[in-house]
Amino acid sequence: MRWSFETSQGQVELIVQEGALGDVACWLSKVLERGRAFVVSDENVAPLYGEDVARQLDAPILALVAGEQAKNWNSVEAVVRFLLGHGAERGDFLMAVGGGVVTDVAGFAASIYMRGIRWVAVPTTLVGMVDAAIGGKTGIDLPEGKNLVGTFWQPRMVLADPLVLASLPPRQLRAGLGEVIKAAMIAPSSLEHLWEEQGARLATGDFWAVTPLLAAAMKMKTEVVALDEREQGARAALNLGHTLAHALEAATDYGYFLHGEAVAWGLLLALLLSQRRGLLASVEAGRWAARLQVMAPLPPIPVSWERLVPFLGRDKKRASGTVRWVLPRLGGVVLGVDVPLEEVHACFQKLLELSEDGPLASLFF
Ligand SMILES: NC(=O)c1ccc[n+]([C@@H]2O[C@H](COP(=O)([O-])OP(=O)(O)OC[C@H]3O[C@@H](n4cnc5c(N)ncnc54)[C@H](O)[C@@H]3O)[C@@H](O)[C@H]2O)c1
Ligand SMILES: [Zn+2]
């Protein structure tokens, strides 16, 4: 599948195609007619896919260390010096082949090398495909917090090959489903039926025929980004489930949950809040929870309400002491809902009380 969307930095081309990585040069030639390619990947993905992409393009390759620890200034400097060392010029472009870490770091480096060169995202994780590679947010972490330094720098192309998901560690894959289900909750009219048809396939590692589902999730994100490139309004919808997720991740020092697992808990809390406020009927909320069951068993929540609270909406808290939430409703989401903390507490308590093997949908009945 192929589509594009307009941004203030030009058109972004998206391609989701089984086997696309077998013929990268052909896909690239559709948007990048000139310039040399430089590949940035990580030490896990380079031997699996990065080196092959580099060979096809006759390009030099740099492999960063794998994982979040690579999102720092050292990596950015390494990419910039790799480009300099090979004489990369302004008309050349960078290919980021990897998960969200690689696309965040490489996209950031591309945005500052010689005041900005073009780049292409080749996401190799589920999170990368449906989230990190789309929207132009790039950046690194600081000791003070995650994603504190970065730029908006749109890739020219996002080239996703669902077949690369086959080598993803199963826990990574399962966690990534959280973002796909989030996308379906934001735009059920285009995604709910595709999840019903292909969600199980995606969850069990059969990556043929999941392309329409992935493409629809990616398309949802491009549509939201097109409305609000700089995250000043509509893009907040993408934060569904993330108020709790970010607090859970921070309260556990980012070492316990994978992001998508924390998002799954966040989606369940949002569903409970919506049910309680009459935004969503129990049967509807229960249906989404049942879909989240493909991610079970989720790592149990290891923090109490008291430990969690200081991390809830830290930066977004309002003077009144409430946090603004994105909540699901029938057919989509509502933005900026003020929910008193006591109400959040009551729903969070339900999550804590859920027995480890209890079906997630039992939260709603
Ligand atoms: N820019 C954005 O809008 C945005 C959005 C969401 C997330 N992010 C960022 O993305 C990062 C998380 O991304 P992620 O979950 O992709 O993590 P990741 O990039 O660390 O990849 C997860 C692990 O899987 C390995 N891997 C990647 N692809 C593989 C494959 N096909 N086969 C085998 N192993 C593979 C990686 O080497 C790594 O060890 C976070 O830093 C987050 O802040 C950014
Ligand atoms: Zn997320």
Are 83 and 207 members of one domain? no
Does 217 share its domain with 123? no
Q: What local confidence, expressed as pLDDT, does residue 315 receive?
A: 56
Same domain, 249 and 357: yes
CATH number, position 289: 1.20.1090.10
If asked whether residues 112 and 192 sit together in one domain, one would say no
Single residue among 123, 147, 169 that ends a domain in this structure: 169
Tell me what pLDDT residue 333 has: 96
Give yes or no: residues 109 and 202 share one domain.
no
Do residue 154 and residue 200 come from a single domain? no
Supply the pLDDT for residue 321.
63
- Are 86 and 129 in the same domain? yes
Give the model's pLDDT for residue 316: 57
Radius of gyration for the chain, computed over Cα atoms and rounded to the nearest angstrom: 20
Residue 244 is assigned to a structural domain of this protein = yes
In this structure, which residue's CA is closest to atom 13 in ligand 1?
Answer: 100
**In the chain, how many domains are there?**
2
Which among 169, 188, 215 is the end of a domain?
169
- The closest residue, in CA terms, to atom 35 on ligand 1 is 168
Which pLDDT value is given to residue 209? 82
Structural domain range at position 76: 2-169
Q: What is the model's pLDDT at position 3?
A: 95
Same domain, residue pair 310 and 198: yes
Please check whether residues 283 and 201 belong to one and the same domain.
yes
Domain edge (last residue) among 169, 196, 227? 169
pLDDT of residue 57: 96
198 and 125, same structural domain? Answer: no
- Could you report the average pLDDT of every consecutive run of 10 residues in the chain (365 residues)? 95 96 93 91 98 97 97 98 98 97 98 98 97 96 92 98 95 94 96 92 87 95 94 90 95 95 97 97 96 94 95 66 88 94 95 88 92
| 48 in contact with ligand 1, CB cutoff 6 A | yes
Task: List the residue whose alpha carbon is closest to atom 4 of ligand 1.
Answer: 132
Verify that 86 and 15 share a domain, yes or no: yes
* Tokens, residue 267: 């989606």
User: 223 and 184 in one domain?
Assistant: yes
CATH number of the domain where residue 156 is located: 3.40.50.1970
66 lies in some domain = yes
Span from the CA of 287 to the centroid of ligand 1 (angstroms) = 28
Residue 23 lies in a domain: yes
* Burial label, 66 (beta-carbon count in 10 A; 0-12, 13-18, 19+): middle
pTM for the predicted model, two decimal places: 0.95
Q: Is residue 174 part of a domain?
A: no
pLDDT of 45? 98
Ligand 1 centre distance from Cα of residue 10 (Å)? 25
Picking from 6, 41, 11, 5, the residue whose alpha carbon sits closest to that of residue 24 is 41
